[in-house]
């Protein structure tokens, strides 16, 4: 077990800030793919459209002061993926998933967020779903509304997907 807790992913313990978000996103993807590899799953590839949808949702949660998969106007993950161009038409088949998280202090690092997701059966299922091929990760410094009680932290969204028919 000691080898499992040592992270081969650079920057896994970074506290997200406005200046290091690209490093935090890369560390998060590295940790996700590490979990998949430990269980014999192929790595997820980064998709720019999934990332755009995830980033927009993360920013929206902070700006609008909510935390959830549905936006204040009822926008769903599928709506966001259509808007980002990942779902290109009504006749395409797809499978999607979404994980969201927020944390403050040391609980805002990629290592802490991925560990929390892996401890949650629905989040873990998304991460380990063999059907998913692509992912996009959105991370922003800050937390929605009063969730962080004024402490520095970060909010994360990870969108997963695979186009299954076209």
Distance CA(113)–CA(21), nearest Å, equals 14
What would the pLDDT profile of 22-62 be if each residue is shown by its tens digit? 999 999 999 999 999 999 999 999 999 999 999 999 999 99
Do the Cβ atoms of 28 and 139 come closer than 8 Å?
yes
Report residue 133 as tokens: 């091929």
Side-chain-side CA neighbours of residue 46 (13 Å): 13
Question: In the prediction, which pLDDT does 166 show?
Answer: 57
Task: Provide the mean pLDDT of the chain.
Answer: 92
Q: What share of the chain is helix, strand, coil (3-state, %, to 5)?
A: 40, 20, 40
Distance CA(79)–CA(70), nearest Å, equals 10
pTM of the model: 0.93
Do the Cβ atoms of 81 and 49 come closer than 8 Å?
yes
What would the pLDDT profile of 1-14 be if each residue is shown by its tens digit? 334 444 589 999 99
Closest CA to 67 of 151, 146, 159, 150: 146
Distance CA(63)–CA(42), nearest Å, equals 35
């Amino acid at each position: 077990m000691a080898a499992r807790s040592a992270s081969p992913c650079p920057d896994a313990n970074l506290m997200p800030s406005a200046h290091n978000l690209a490093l935090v996103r890369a560390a998060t993807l590295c940790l996700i793919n590490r979990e998949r590899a430990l269980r014999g799953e192929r790595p997820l590839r980064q998709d720019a459209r999934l990332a755009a949808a995830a980033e927009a949702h993360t920013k929206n949660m902070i700006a609008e002061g909510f935390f959830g998969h549905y936006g204040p106007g009822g926008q769903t993950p599928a709506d966001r993926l259509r808007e980002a161009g990942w779902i290109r038409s009504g006749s395409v088949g797809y499978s999607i998933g979404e994980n969201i998280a927020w944390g403050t202090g040391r609980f805002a690092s990629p290592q802490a967020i991925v560990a929390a997701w892996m401890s949650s059966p629905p989040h873990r299922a998304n991460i380990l779903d063999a059907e998913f091929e692509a992912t996009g990760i959105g991370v922003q410094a800050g937390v929605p509304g009063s969730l962080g009680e004024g402490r520095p932290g970060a909010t994360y969204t990870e969108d997963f997907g695979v186009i299954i028919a076209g």
